[in-house]
Structure 1
Amino acid sequence: MSTPPNPRDLLAITATGEDQVGLVQRFTSRIVDSGCNIEESRMALLGGHFALIMLVSGRWDALTKLEDRLASVGAELGLTIVQKRTRDLDRKHALVPYSINVVAMDHPGIVHNLANFFAQRDINIEELATDTYPAPHTGTPMFSVNMTVGIPGDTHIPTLRGDFLDYCDSLNLDAIFEPARA
């Protein structure tokens, strides 16, 4: 009987602070110096603030070294840092990734309505990004949402797609619903 592989130890890190040139380089150098590796990350400039979410891997001693240093790194770089040990995601059922793109005139509640649609169907939003911009020619405030959802493999996709597009039409949202590209 074979032994299942040990789950990897990972460290989830979030950091926010005033934006500065070279901040990513200075922060990531601390990760490399600790002997850890960045597995996944999302970084964005939001207003004048820099925000990052990162998943870091490494041997247990390297992760411990990094954890011990993060408070002083945060103070040095002017970042508020939150860290949490985690493990690889263990999915019980296969999920099919789909990409959702929505554009509409900006108004409150768009993200909430989209999240509600998927939550009511037990579909997880795995990634979400939003943006506002002026419409060409008119300058009307526009809002865009790009998300990836994980749809359970036993879901009838054509029905879900139709229900989603009808829902978006009822809210005056232009939407695209298609398989996510790797």
Structure 2
Amino acid sequence: MSQETPREQQLLITVLGDDPRSMASELCRLCLEARCSISASRLSRHSQAGALVVQASGSWDALARLEGSLAPLGKRLGWQVSVLRTPVNSPRSTGLPYVVYANAAYRADILNELCQFFAVHNIELEAMTCDTYQAPHSATLLMTATLTVNLPQGIQISWLREQFLDFADSLNLDAIIEPWRPTHG
């Protein structure tokens, strides 16, 4: 017996290029014209360039129209465009969402060390941001990182928190791990 293909599908689109404002505008317009809906998106600026990630959903033919229009748009505007088809209801692990905040004097190894800590403990990363900035009253370069992680069910949270704080102390990080809370703006 054959499995039926679901009508709704998803397309994960990444765009890298100049002028993040027009990136968002153009990609939203293309999705609308192709009769696709945007279910998630992230835009970030990096100097004059930007990175845009969009998760679009729709019927297979609507996504095919959208996918076909992306390469010409990217070529015309000088953007790097990547596309990946993803299942709509992919299995996700169940667990507890936690947020990690870390601040320190900038060192190139810190982000790698944070990622390694969670990989070693088999903890999934859901989101990650990292920024560097000049300290207001000195020439010191500082960094701040925020990671959203998904703690597996059954993990002893007090044990993990203790392990994480020892780890942070060993790297001289000002860091905390706490339950994720929705923000209402």
TM-score, normalisation: structure 2: 0.90
Which amino acid is the alignment partner of residue 72 of structure 1? Answer: P
Kept in 2: contact 1:104–1:143 (CA 8 A): yes
RMSD between aligned residues: 1.9
Distance, in Å, in 2 between the alignment partners of 1:155 and 1:7 is 37
Aligned equivalent of 2:107: 107
Q: Aligned partners of 1:155, 1:27: CA distance in 2, in Å?
A: 41
Q: Structure 2 CA distance, aligned partners of 1:4 and 1:158?
A: 45
Give the Å deviation of 1:18. Answer: 1.6
Tell me the SS of whatever aligns to 1:166.
helix
* Matched residue, 2:164: 164
Give the structure 1 partner of residue 122 of structure 2. 122
Match of 2:62 in 1: 62
Percent of pairs identical after alignment?
A: 36
Which residue of structure 1 lines up, in the alignment, with residue 80 of structure 2?
80
- Say whether 1:137 aligns with 2:137: yes
- Inter-CA distance 7–26: structure 2 relative to 1 (3 Å threshold): closer
The range that moved more, 99-108 or 42-51, is 42-51
> Which residue matches 1:71?
71
Deviation per residue, 1:62-98 (Å, 9 max, x gap)? 111101111111122221101010013312x411110
2: CA distance between counterparts of 1:34 and 1:12?
Answer: 15
Question: Which residue type is aligned with residue 153 of structure 1?
Answer: Q
Residue 149 of structure 2 corresponds to which residue in structure 1?
149
- Residue of structure 1 in register with 2:91 after alignment: 90
Q: What are the ranges of 5 or more consecutive residues in structure 1 without an aligned counterpart? A: none
Q: 1:27 to 1:163 in 2, by over 3 A?
A: same
Which contiguous aligned blocks of 4+ residues in structure 1 show a shift greater than 6 angstroms?
A: none
Q: Does 1:47 align with 2:47?
A: yes
User: Does 70-79 or 106-115 show the bigger shift?
Assistant: 70-79
How far, CA to CA, are the matches of 1:7 and 1:37 in structure 2? 14
Q: Is the 8 A contact 1:23 1:77 kept in 2?
A: no
Residues 11-54 of structure 1: per-residue CA shift (max 9 Å, x gap): 01111012264331122111111101111111111122111111
* AA of the residue aligned to 1:90: P
Map of 1:22 onto structure 2: 22
Deviation at 1:144, TM superposition (A): 0.5
CA distance, structure 2, for counterparts of residue 42 and residue 22 of structure 1: 14
- For the 8 Å contact 1:128–1:145, the answer to whether it is kept is yes
2:23 and 2:5 map into 1 onto residues whose CA distance is 36
Q: Please, what TM-score do these two structures have when normalized by structure 1?
A: 0.91
